Structure 1
Amino acid sequence: MSTQPELPKKVKIVEVGPRDGLQNEKEAVPAAVKVALVDRLSRAGFLNIEAASFVSPKWVPQMATSTEVMASITRREGTIYSALTPNMQGFEAALASRADEVVIFGSASEAFSQKNINCSIAESIARFESVARAAKDNGLRLRGSISCAFGCPYQGEVPLDAVADVVARMRDLGCDEIDIADTIGVSTARKTQAVMQVAAQEFHVDRISGHFHDTYGQALANIYASLEVGVSIFHSSVAGLGGCPYAKGATGNVATEDVLFLMNGLGIETGIDIDQVVDAGQFISQHLGRKATSRAGNALVAKRAG
């Protein structure tokens, strides 16, 4: 008789909607709306919110208000407010804005790295050495994010040893947490477990996070598969904000409401109030003029109305 693997009793959900979710929106979202969204999410109980990105506004115009957002949010004690920092200029801005955590990023796909930033994986990560050092010197948390860990829009399959190599490089930079991201949402459960197990050979499994996109509807299955191998940190986006730039019309980040519904059903503690998250999802969706893509969120709203 087979025994069920023991799942973590508690997970941390990193809410990425205000940054990763909104950055692809074509119409500018006012800083005041972003602030209201972050504040709603803080009140819902998240311990980590990705609130800003200090990249060039030329490349990501939606994030041009990051300084204003970070200055205006109501910070909840115990919540980590994160900012994406591609270089030292971004780091200085994040430091000035009182970010608690800076996020650096690399790819597990050599083709993706070359195509997007015109350099190798090794070169891209070497560029972050100064940011990593500065984060440590200033007492900030450092998070590393690895894109295309499960598949690449240019090269297809990504070898497991390529993922292991980037995890080791991020670990050596001093990262406190490392995200393993399915940027194009192509992974399925068994593949997810193989990738997470390889990552866990290079870094503490309790500091590895799963960042799954729902392009092919597999995100929740991949999260469950990750739980089975001991991963207990997951990224999600309120209302399912965010598209996938490599698959036209596809959804991007897994919706936070759906992840919370799963965790609640499994009896796994999150410390987050799903009803407040549903409200936050409705708030931002109404501002954007479209329905939330969260199945659980929309079902809970319909249930309330019924």
Structure 2
Amino acid sequence: MTNLPKHVHFHEEGPREGFQIERGAFPLADRAALVDALSETGLEEIQVSSFVSPKAVPQMADAEALFATIRRKPGVRYDAVWLNERGYDRARATPGVHITGRIALYASDAFAMRNNNCTAAEMRGRVNDWLDRYAADGVPMERALVMAAFGCNFEGEVAPSRAVGELVWAWNTCQARGMAPPRLYLADTMGWANPQAIRGAIGMLRDALPEAEVGLHLHDTRGLGPANVLAALEMGVSHFDSSVAGLGGCPFAGHGDARGAGNICTEDMVFLCHEMGIETGIDLEALIEAARLAERIIGRPLSGRLMHAGSLKAYRQRRAAA
């Protein structure tokens, strides 16, 4: 494991991706309390909400109010998701939203139609308009992400070359315009990845763009999330999207029980890193308490393991005190 990173960065998405898929609404004060609890853990980035159609995702209809309610901690970036110009304009008009340039692409036409009402090629066609807007607004590019990078519930298998090709295109497009190249994210939106596929896609992407920084957005839909994280860590990947307590999932991903489609669990993956000697800058015990708060808010057992079992650090401390 000589390629293990020294430090891993987790981009927390639970407050947004977690609640968008839940049935029904949850009180604004409870969701703000979860963001505030996560702010005290050492996480540097928290995705608070999304500025999307309230008809399509009613759970996110109060994004502006949520940003107005949270208590911001210095040094923490509070960001959001948008899918179109209207959402972007709402995000920019909302105080406290950290705005960075991002490109969203698809390795599946079927999923692109469900999620963005366009084909993958049409999504590419919109990128230059976004880059124009970001440049005009002085917004720096940060990430390019390709969804359904490992497989699609509507289209089936996805060739690694297709997902990698989308990211290479995004990189080259930014370079050609004199914009800083983004970090490149492979997103296992529907839980099709396995460790071998993770290694293969990362290797192919690095062969094509040796200088690129690679990140992963993984879902634990079919139980391979932690194994996929480990495979990526062994290849030196140090940027992961994750969700506290294993919350999350895409409401348009076509899972029979969408609530079973959570993202990789932040506290469980932080624990994995710490046990392997990898730094994260995160207070694991505080993160566990935030996960327990998330479970109380949702009102049913969530998929995170550590919040139920406790960390080994806490166990060792109890043993030492006995």
Asked whether the two chains share a fold, i.e. TM above 0.5, the reply is yes
- Structure 1's 142 and 129: CA in aligned 2 closer, same or farther, altered over 3 A? farther
Matched, 1:270 2:269: no
Identity over aligned residues, as a percent? 36
**Partner of 1:22: helix, strand, or coil?**
helix
Paired position in structure 2 for 1:280: 290
Contact 1:257 1:278 in 2 (8 A): yes
What letter corresponds to residue 105 of structure 1 in structure 2?
A
What letter corresponds to residue 130 of structure 1 in structure 2?
D
What letter corresponds to residue 58 of structure 1 in structure 2?
K
Matched, 1:289 2:299: yes
Task: Report how far residue 122 of structure 1 moved.
Answer: 2.1
Task: Report how far residue 269 of structure 1 moved.
Answer: 0.6
Alignment of 1:69-148 (within 5 A): 69-97=66-94, 98-102=96-100, 103-136=102-135, 137-148=137-148
CA distance in 2, matches of 1:46, 1:192: 25
**Partner of 2:72: helix, strand, or coil?**
coil
Contact 1:87 1:127 in 2 (8 A): no
Task: Report how far residue 52 of structure 1 moved.
Answer: 1.6
- Structure 1: which 5+ runs fail to align? none
Contact 1:163 1:199 in 2 (8 A): no
Matched, 1:46 2:54: no
Task: Report how far residue 117 of structure 1 moved.
Answer: 3.5
Paired position in structure 1 for 2:231: 225
TM-score by length of 2: 0.86
Alignment of 1:1-306 (within 5 A): 4-97=1-94, 98-102=96-100, 103-136=102-135, 137-171=137-171, 172-173=173-174, 176-203=182-209, 207-243=213-249, 245-249=253-257, 250-300=260-310
Task: Report how far residue 47 of structure 1 moved.
Answer: 1.2
The number of residues matched between the two structures is 302
**Partner of 1:144: helix, strand, or coil?**
strand
Task: Report how far residue 26 of structure 1 moved.
Answer: 1.1
Contact 2:149 2:158 in 1 (8 A): yes
What letter corresponds to residue 15 of structure 2 in structure 1?
P
Higher relative contact order (CA 8 A, sep 6+): 2
**Partner of 1:82: helix, strand, or coil?**
strand
Task: Report how far residue 248 of structure 1 moved.
Answer: 2.5
**Partner of 2:184: helix, strand, or coil?**
strand
- Structure 2: which 5+ runs fail to align? none
Contact 2:226 2:269 in 1 (8 A): yes
What letter corresponds to residue 64 of structure 1 in structure 2?
A
TM-score by length of 1: 0.90
CA distance in 1, matches of 2:211, 2:308: 33
**Partner of 1:292: helix, strand, or coil?**
coil
What letter corresponds to residue 32 of structure 1 in structure 2?
A
CA distance in 1, matches of 2:227, 2:18: 21
Task: Report how far residue 115 of structure 1 moved.
Answer: 4.5
**Partner of 1:262: helix, strand, or coil?**
helix
CA-based RMSD of the aligned residues comes to 2.3
Q: Which is further off, 8-17 or 240-249?
A: 240-249
- Structure 1's 71 and 176: CA in aligned 2 closer, same or farther, altered over 3 A? farther
Q: Which is further off, 242-251 or 80-89?
A: 242-251
What letter corresponds to residue 182 of structure 2 in structure 1?
D
Contact 1:206 1:233 in 2 (8 A): no
CA distance in 2, matches of 1:10, 1:180: 20
Contact 2:134 2:140 in 1 (8 A): yes
What letter corresponds to residue 40 of structure 2 in structure 1?
R
CA distance in 1, matches of 2:119, 2:226: 32
Task: Report how far residue 88 of structure 1 moved.
Answer: 1.3
CA distance in 1, matches of 2:14, 2:211: 24
CA distance in 2, matches of 1:135, 1:72: 27
